[in-house]
A and B are shown apart, each in its own frame.
Chain A
C-alpha cells in the first residue's frame, strides 16, 4: 500500500546521520554506491515495526526513540578505558582484537606473530580499497530488505576482516572485543568479515560490552564465509550496558562437509536483537546453533534465526534457551527452510523459556518450510516456571530458596554453555552467567 507514513524522529535522525557521514565513510566508488542503495532501501521502509513479520515482536519504530550521533574516533581516554575494561576471556591466551566505540584500534590489538595463513585487517582499510568480497549478498536467505542490515551497510565505518587461508588450522582462538566507552550516548555501526578457507578451522569469539546508564546504540554485522570441509566455532557474548540498544546480524554462508558451531549468549543490554541468517550451500555439513539469554528488569531480547538447508545430507540442531525475570521479554523466531533437492536434511529446533516472574514474557515462533520430501525436521517449544518439585528437593537438602533457584537456572542454561567446544569459552560463559545471577541477588 502506498500510504505515506510520517517518519519518526529516529528515522529522520538516521537520515541525518547518513547524509552527514556519507562523504567521510570509508569506501571507493563501488562501496559508496552500495551504501547509497542500502540507505535507499532503508529509507523506503523505515524502521521495522510489528506489522513487519520478521520484526513482529520487536517494534523498533516504537522502541527506538531517536538516533544517537555517530561515535567519534576513540581518543586516549577512550583507549585507556577500553584497555581497562573487564574481559571475560582474560587469561585464556586468545588473540585479542579490540574495537573501541566502533573503531578498530591496532595498538590495543594483538597483531604480533600472525600464524601463517592468517590475515587481519581493519574493515575501514578494506572498505577504502573497495575490496569486492565485502558488502556483497551472500545467499538467498539474506533478505535484501532487512532494514537493520541495510542501515548497517549504509553506515558501517569499521570492524575487522579476518581471512584464514585454506587448510590452515588456527589453534589459537581469536577474540574480537567490541567495547563502548562513551558516557555520552552515541551510535556505532560496525561490519566485519571472516572467511574460513576450505579445510581450515578457527575459533572466533565476539564480545560486546559497554557502560551502564547510557542509551548507546550498536548496529553490528558479521559476514562469515565457511569453505568446504572447514570448521568454525563462533561465539558471540553480549554484556552491553543496561541502556544499550544492540542490533546484530550474522550472515553465514557455509560450504560442503563443513562444521558450523554458533553460540550466542546475551546477559546485558536494554534491547537486543540478534538476527542470524545461515545458508548451508554444500552437502554433508553439520551445524549446531545455540543461544542463551539471561534477562531481567525491563530487558527485551529477540533472537531471530533463518537457516536454509540448500544442499543434501546436512544436519542442523538449533537450541535456544532464555531465562526471563521481572518484566523482561524474550523472543525467539526460528525458521528452517529446506530447499527443493535438499534431501536427507535432518534439522531439529528447540526453544525453551524459563520464566522467573509472573510478568516475564517469552514469545516463540518456530517455522518449517520444506520443499524436499525425504527429510527429518522438527521443532519444539516449552515455556515454564521453575519446577516447584525440584525446588523443594533442593530445599529439603538445606539449600536456601534463592540458591536453589540459581542452581536450577544454571542447570537450565548450562546446556547451552556446554555446547562450546573450547574450555576457556565455557568458563567465560559460566562467569557471565554467575555475574548475572549475582546481580539479581
Chain B
C-alpha cells in the first residue's frame, strides 16, 4: 500500500545557506495522526512550509511523496488541490478580501484543478455556514476581511473552518494551540477531531503536550535540530512534558 506521505532523507535550507531540516524521514499512512514535538527554533514551522510549498527554501537533498506523487515538483496551489492543507501557526490578515470570497475562491480553485464541478455560491455559503456553526463562528465574521482584526482564537477557528471546508487528505497543523485559551482550544480540537478519518492523515506540530490531550495522536516524534530524534506512542508526549527538551537539544548538538 502506498503511504499517504513519505519523506525520505530531507534536507532544506533557507536563503543564505543556513541548514534547517537535516535528514528527515517520516511516513504517514492514511488514518494516522502524528504529533511532532520539539523546542522552539527546531525547524518545525520550516518543515510545514516545505511540505506546503512555500518559496524561499532550498531542498538540497531528499524526496517527498504524497500518494506516490512527487510533492516537491508541485507549486503550493497544486499541492493544495492534491490534498495538502497547512493550518498556519500565524494565519495572515488580508485586508479587502472578505472571508467568504476567499473561501469560495479556494474551494472552487481546488475543484477546478481536480476537474470537478464548481459549487454554486448559495450551496457553498450553506456549507460554510454549517461548518461555521460547529466552530462558534458567527455569520458576521464571514463577511469581514480575512482574519483582519480577528483575535488569536478566531484566526485558529477560521483555519479549522477552511480545513473542514476543503476536506484535505493531509492536514499539517502548526502550533494550532498557540494563543488559545482552554475553551477555544476545545472548540478547535473538536473541529479537528471531527475530521479524523481512515482516509486522512494528520501531522500535529506542537511545542506543548496540552493540545495532545484533546487531539490524541497515534505516534509522537521528537524533532530537534532539523530531524526526528525519537519516536514513540502518545505517552511520549507526557514524558516530554515532565522532562522537557533539554536532553534532545544537547543530543542533537
Give the B-binding residues of A (Cβ under 8 A). Answer: 388-390, 392-401, 403-404, 407-408, 410-412, 414-415
A411→B102 CA distance, assembly (Å): 11
Q: Which chain A residues lie closer than 8 Å to B166 at the CB level?
A: 397-398
> Chain B nearest CB: distance from A369 CB in Å?
31
Chain A, residue nearest B147 (CB): A393
Q: Do A410 and B96 form a contact, CB below 8 Å, given A396-B53, A398-B80?
A: yes
Q: A388-B55, A393-B88, A398-B166 are in contact. Are A403 and B109 (CB under 8 A)?
A: yes
Q: Are A398 and B81 in contact (CB under 8 A)?
A: yes
Q: Cβ of A403: which chain B residues have Cβ within 8 Å of it?
A: 105, 109
Binding site for A on B (CB under 8 A): 52-56, 75-77, 79-81, 85-86, 88, 91-92, 94-97, 101-102, 105-107, 109-110, 113, 145, 162, 166
Which residue of the partner chain, among B52, B91, B107, B109, contacts A400 with CB atoms under 8 Å?
A: B109
Closest to B101 in A: A407
Min CB–CB distance A62 → chain B (angstroms): 37
Cross-chain pairs A/B with CB under 8 angstroms, 6 sampled: A389-B92, A393-B88, A396-B77, A396-B86, A397-B105, A414-B96
B80 & A396 in contact (Cβ 8 Å cutoff): yes
Docked CA distance A410–B105 (Å)? 13
Which of A388, A390, A397 touches B80 (beta carbons < 8 Å)? A397
- The answer to whether A397 and B94 have CB atoms under 8 Å apart is no
Q: Is the CB–CB distance between B102 and A392 below 8 Å?
A: no
A393 to B52, CA, bound (A): 10
What chain A residues lie within 8 Å of B56 (beta carbons)?
388
Q: How far is the CA of A118 from the CA of B72 in the complex (A)?
A: 67
Instruction: From known contacts A398-B109, A398-B113, A403-B105, infer whether A393 and B75 are also in contact, taking CB-CB under 8 Å.
Output: no
Residues of B with C-beta under 8 A to A401: 75, 77
Minimum CB–CB distance from B48 to chain A (whole Å) comes to 10
Q: How distant is A180 from chain B, measured CB to nearest CB, in Å?
A: 33
B17 → chain A closest CB, angstroms: 20
Complex CA distance for A397 and B109, rounded to whole angstroms:
9
CB closest chain-A residue, reference B86:
A396
Selected contact of A397 from candidates B54, B75, B96, B162, CB within 8 Å: B162
> Are A400 and B96 in touch, CB under 8 angstroms?
no
CB contacts (< 8 Å) of A394 on chain B: these are 94, 102, 105-106
Decide yes or no: A399 and B55 within 8 Å by CB, A393-B92, A412-B96 being known contacts. no
Give the Cβ gap from A60 to chain B, nearest Cβ, in Å: 34
Instruction: Verify B75–A392 contact, CB threshold 8 A.
Output: no
Sorted from nearest, which 6 A-B pairs have the closest CB atoms?
A411-B96, A398-B80, A397-B106, A398-B110, A395-B76, A414-B96
A399 touches B77 (CB 8 A): yes
Measured CA separation A403–B53 after assembly (Å): 17
Q: How far is the CB of A277 from chain B (nearest CB, A)?
A: 30
Known contacts A393-B88, A396-B53, A415-B96; decide if A407 and B75 are in contact (CB<8 Å).
no
**Closest residue to A415 on the B side, CB-wise?**
B96
What distance in Å separates the Cβ of B225 from its nearest Cβ neighbour in chain A? 25
Q: A397-B166, A398-B109 are in contact. Are A392 and B95 (CB under 8 A)?
A: no
Q: Is the beta-carbon distance between A390 and B92 smaller than 8 angstroms?
A: yes
Chain A neighbourhood of B145, CB < 8 A: 411
Residue among A388, A395, A403, A415 with the highest chain B CB neighbour number at 10 A: A395
A411 x B95 contact (CB < 8 A): yes
Which residues of chain B are within 8 angstroms of A398 by Cβ–Cβ distance?
77, 80-81, 106-107, 109-110, 113, 166
Closest chain-A Cβ to B170's Cβ sits at a distance in Å of 12
Assembly CA distance A412 to B54 (angstroms): 23
Complexed CA–CA distance, A407 and B88 (Å):
20
Distance in angstroms between the alpha carbons of A395 and B105 in the assembled complex: 10
Bound form: Cα–Cα A411–B145 in Å: 9
Bound complex: CA A415 to CA B94 (Å): 13
Closest chain A residue to B84, Cβ basis: A396
Residues on A with C-beta less than 8 A from B86 are 396
Nearest-Cβ distance from residue B38 to partner chain A, whole angstroms: 22
Which residue, A399, A404, A408, has most C-beta atoms of chain B within 10 A?
A399
Complex formed: what's the CA distance from A395 to B91 in Å? Answer: 13
Give B66 Cβ to nearest chain A Cβ, in Å.
Answer: 14
Closest Cβ–Cβ distance, residue B253 to chain A (whole Å)? 31
Q: Could you say which residues of chain B place their CB within 8 Å of the CB of A408? A: 94, 97
Nearest Cβ on chain A to B111's Cβ, whole angstroms: 9
**A407-B55 CB under 8 A given contacts A390-B94, A399-B109, A401-B77:** no
Q: How far is the CA of A232 from the CA of B234 in the complex (A)?
A: 67
Cross-chain contact A407 with B105 (CB below 8 angstroms): yes
Q: In the complex, A395 Cα to B109 Cα: how many Å?
A: 10
Contact A400 B77 (CB under 8 A): yes
> Which B residues are CB-close (under 8 A) to A399?
77, 105-106, 109
Task: Name the contact of B77 in the complex, choosing from A390, A395, A410, A415 (C-beta under 8 A).
Answer: A395
Bound-state Cα–Cα, A414 to B94, Å: 12
Known A-B contacts: A397-B110, A412-B96. Give 20 more (CB < 8 A).
A389-B92, A393-B91, A393-B94, A395-B53, A396-B52, A396-B54, A396-B77, A396-B85, A397-B80, A397-B105, A398-B80, A398-B106, A399-B77, A399-B106, A400-B109, A401-B75, A401-B77, A407-B105, A411-B95, A411-B97
Closest approach, in angstroms, between the C-beta of B163 and any C-beta of chain A?
Answer: 10
Instruction: Using A397-B102, A398-B110, A403-B109 as known contacts, say yes or no to A392 and B94 having CB atoms under 8 A apart.
Output: no
